């Protein structure tokens, strides 16, 4: 439990705390919380030691390993060792670069349908709206199901299931009852098991992720994955596959609304500029803002000794906003990601998708999807912020804006 106590200190006001540490620790250093200590790795050249060279000395941090367990089970995000290696090999083809052209059609269709339903002058919460959109896309691409009627209820259940995890993070030494989150999780399970049942009864291979999971056999035993294993992978991709991209696109709309002249450039330049916006938005507001690891055995990082059971933190929130790597770091400047300028960014100073063998398996998917969403919508609408007050952060597992972001639509070409 002690390591969780350290987390409580970090997570009660996470961003302020992380920033304070960043000022005190420019390269690598330790902070002690009673018997537990945390090592911040705040220099890009050390990051490969954690994520690649000494990856065997670390496992995922306690938030993913312990607190997220009821939701993700032994899925890709949370499993370790040989199990992780096997599952990663199994899932990777469904998210490989070559698959994206096929998924892109679905992404365009869903985004266009959403834009068809909009009228100039309307106001709504763009975070919520992006969640529904990316949820629909992930269901169609990975599970070959459409969920237009359930999307709202599923979205609510996902938020409810997370509220337990959020409360639990704040009081790690108590075991909180799951309350309403339990029922929400049960309904989410029922949804995912429903996908599995439906596919088993339909039979055959539709070529999507669910087919791949159901048809896969263990290399040694020749056994199929059981329903629980399929459920864990499916739930992981179902959740990890939409919330992060929704958050990234929502922050992109926020930044565009604050710098509206970029809407014209986006319309003129299309997908390449959409990618620049998305990348710059993930620099300023990285949806995954820290990577945490627990230390499995005594080791070192850049000559700095690190002890078993310590917590190691790499913070995108610090690296991406560090003036050593990004001049005038708080300025929104999508041209930092012009290909020739992007090539000059120091290696590992920009790591929205992590790195090494646990690098985000959905990174091509997310970049393709984010670009298409920005490009498709910006052709038809611009957005302005309903309130000029900057949104507060809600740094949970992803960096969400606390009360959403309300925007007002303007149809392109209309006053």
Cα torsion angle, 285, 310, 171, 72, sign: positive
Tell me which residues in 157-196 interact with ligand HEM (CB under 6 A). none
Q: How far apart are CA 357 and CA 352, in angstroms?
A: 15
Tell me which residues in 51-70 interact with ligand HEM (CB under 6 A). 60
Tell me how far, at minimum, the Cβ of 59 lies from ligand HEM, in Å: 10
Residue from 99, 231, 336, 358 in contact with ligand HEM (CB under 6 A): 358
**Is the separation of the CB atoms in 111 and 376 below 8 Å?**
yes
Q: How far apart are CA 276 and CA 266, in angstroms?
A: 10
Coil, strand, or helix at residue 103?
helix
Work out whether 248 is an interface residue with ligand HEM (CB under 6 A).
yes
Whose Cβ is closer to ligand HEM: residue 60's or residue 283's? 60
Q: How far apart are CA 390 and CA 370, in angstroms?
A: 22
Whose Cβ is closer to ligand HEM: residue 129's or residue 245's? 245
Work out whether 401 is an interface residue with ligand HEM (CB under 6 A).
no
**Cα–Cα separations (whole angstroms), residue 57 to 10, 36, 52, 291, 310:** 23, 18, 10, 15, 11
Q: How many residues at the interface with ligand HEM, by CB under 6 A?
A: 24
Query: Which range of residues in 19-27, 66-74, 336-344, 356-364 is near ligand HEM by CB under 6 A?
Result: 356-364
Query: Which range of residues in 29-37, 108-116, 125-133, 359-367 is near ligand HEM by CB under 6 A?
Result: 359-367
Work out whether 396 is an interface residue with ligand HEM (CB under 6 A).
no
Residue from 62, 136, 172, 362 in contact with ligand HEM (CB under 6 A): 362
**Cα–Cα separations (whole angstroms), residue 390 to 32, 255, 304, 401:** 33, 11, 39, 9
Tell me how far, at minimum, the Cβ of 263 lies from ligand HEM, in Å: 21
Coil, strand, or helix at residue 316?
helix
The values of phi and psi at residue 294, to 5°, are: -95, 145
Residue nearest to ligand HEM (CB): 362
C-alpha closest to that of 37 among 297, 312, 269: 312
Tell me how far, at minimum, the Cβ of 218 lies from ligand HEM, in Å: 18
Work out whether 315 is an interface residue with ligand HEM (CB under 6 A).
no
Residues in the chain: 415
Query: Which range of residues in 22-30, 234-242, 304-312, 324-332 is near ligand HEM by CB under 6 A?
Result: 234-242
Exposed / middle / buried, residue 356 (Cβ in 10 Å: 0-12, 13-18, 19+): middle
Work out whether 241 is an interface residue with ligand HEM (CB under 6 A).
yes
Residues in touch with ligand HEM (CB under 6 A)? 60, 76-77, 88, 95, 236-237, 240-241, 244-245, 248, 287-288, 291, 352-354, 358, 360-362, 365-366
């Amino acid at each position: 439990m002690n390591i969780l106590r350290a987390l409580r200190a970090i997570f009660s006001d996470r961003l302020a705390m992380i920033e304070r540490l960043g000022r005190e620790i420019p390269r690598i250093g330790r902070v002690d919380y009673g018997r537990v200590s945390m090592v911040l790795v705040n220099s890009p050249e050390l990051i490969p030691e954690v994520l690649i060279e000494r990856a065997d000395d670390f496992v995922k941090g306690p938030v993913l390993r312990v607190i997220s367990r009821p939701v993700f089970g032994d899925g890709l995000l949370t499993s370790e060792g040989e199990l992780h290696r096997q599952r990663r090999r199994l899932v990777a083809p469904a998210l490989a670069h070559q698959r994206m052209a096929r998924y892109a059609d679905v992404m365009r269709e869903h985004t266009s349908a959403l834009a068809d339903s909009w009228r100039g002058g309307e106001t709504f919460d763009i975070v919520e709206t992006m969640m529904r959109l990316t949820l629909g896309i992930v269901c169609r691409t990975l599970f070959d199901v459409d969920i237009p009627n359930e999307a709202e209820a599923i979205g609510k259940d996902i938020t409810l299931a997370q509220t337990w995890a959020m409360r639990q993070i704040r009081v790690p030494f108590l075991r909180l009852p799951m309350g309403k989150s339990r029922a929400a999780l049960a309904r989410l399970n029922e949804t995912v098991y429903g996908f599995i049942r439906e596919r088993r009864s339909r039979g055959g291979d539709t070529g999507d992720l669910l087919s791949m999971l159901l048809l896969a056999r263990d290399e040694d035993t020749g056994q199929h994955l059981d329903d629980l294993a399929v459920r864990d992978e499916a739930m992981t991709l179902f959740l990890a596959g939409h919330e992060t991209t929704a958050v990234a696109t929502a922050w992109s709309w926020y930044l565009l609304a604050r710098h509206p002249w970029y809407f014209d450039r986006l319309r003129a330049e299309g997908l390449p500029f959409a990618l620049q916006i998305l990348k710059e938005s993930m620099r300023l507001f990285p949806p995954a803002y820290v990577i945490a690891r627990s230390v499995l055995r005594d080791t070192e990082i850049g000559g700095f000794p690190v002890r078993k059971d310590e917590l190691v933190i790499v913070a995108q929130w610090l690296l991406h906003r560090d003036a050593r790597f990004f001049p005038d770091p708080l300025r929104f400047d999508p041209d930092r990601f012009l290909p020739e300028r992007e090539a000059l960014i120091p290696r590992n100073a920009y790591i929205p998708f992590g790195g090494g063998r646990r690098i985000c398996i959905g990174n091509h998917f997310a970049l393709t999807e984010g670009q298409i969403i920005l490009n498709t919508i910006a052709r038809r609408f611009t957005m302005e912020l309903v309130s000029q007050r900057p949104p507060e952060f809600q740094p949970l597992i992803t960096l969400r804006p606390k009360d959403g972001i309300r925007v007002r639509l303007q149809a392109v070409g209309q006053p």
